[in-house]
Chains A and B, each alone.
Chain A
Amino acid sequence: QKEVEQDPGPLSVPEGAIVSLNCTYSNSAFQYFMWYRQYSRKGPELLMYTYSSGNKEDGRFTAQVDKSSKYISLFIRDSQPSDSATYLCAMSAAGNKLTFGGGTRVLVKP
C-alpha cells in the first residue's frame, strides 16, 4: 500500500462549481497535513496547512482532516479557470520531511 494515495484525475468542473479533492494515507504518525497547488513546471505553492484533525477555512478553500479514517480533503468553492492546476497533498509526522501524494489535475472550464 502506498503511503499517500491521491486520485490523479483529471477532474473537470464548470466555472463556479465546488472542487472536491482528497487523499488517503496509511501512516498513522502523520500529524501535519498540507495542500499545495502546482502549475506546470513550477514549484508547489502552499495553500493550506492543518495540524491533526479538524477543519480549516481560508477564503474559498476549506481543508478537512479525519485522522480516524486517515483521510484528508480540500474543497475549493466558486472555482475559477485560474484554479486549473495540479493539487498536491503532503503530510508529515514530525514536521521535517514531507511525503507527497501524486497530485490531482484539476481543469476548471469557463
Chain B
Amino acid sequence: EPEVTQTPSHQVTQMGQEVILRCVPISNHLYFYWYRQILGQKVEFLVSFYNNEISEKSEIFDDQFSVERPDGSNFTLKIRSTKLEDSAMYFCAIGTELLSGNTIYFGEGSWLTVV
C-alpha cells in the first residue's frame, strides 16, 4: 500500500489566518486528492489534481482554497482566511489509476482547529 505523509498532524490557527497543509507521497503518483472530515461527519471530497492541474472540485472548494504541487513532490492545500467552520481533519489521498478508481489511499490526516 502506498504511503502518504501529511504535515502538520495538528495545527491550531486563529480565524482569518492562512494555513498550508502538506502531503508527501512516498512513491510517484499522478493523481492527488484532498478530502475533509468535520468531527462526527462524513468524509467529503474537496478536489482532485491530475497532471499538475485541478481535474474536479466540489462546492466546498471555493476561492478560499487552492492546491498546488510546487516542487513535483509536495502537494499542498492552502486555506486563505480560515473560518471556524474550516475546523476539520483534512486528508490527502493518492490514486494510481484515474479511471479504475480502485486504488485511492489516504494519509493519516492533518487536524485543523480554527479558534
Contacts and interface: CB of A to CB of B under 8 A. Distances in A.
Contacts, number: 67
B91 A43 contact: yes
Contacts of B98: 95-96
B109 A100 contact: no
A62 to B, nearest CB: 17
Contacts of A45: 106
A55 B65 CA distance: 39
A42 B108 contact: yes
Interface string A72-110: 000000000000000010101011111111110000000
Contact of A42 (B44, B101, B104, B109): B109
Contact of B101 (A36, A96, A100, A103): A96
B56 A97 contact: yes
A49 interface: yes
B45 A43 contact: no
A45 B104 CA distance: 9
Interface string A17-36: 00000000000000110101
10 contacts: A32-B101, A32-B102, A42-B108, A43-B108, A46-B104, A46-B105, A94-B101, A98-B43, A98-B101, A99-B45
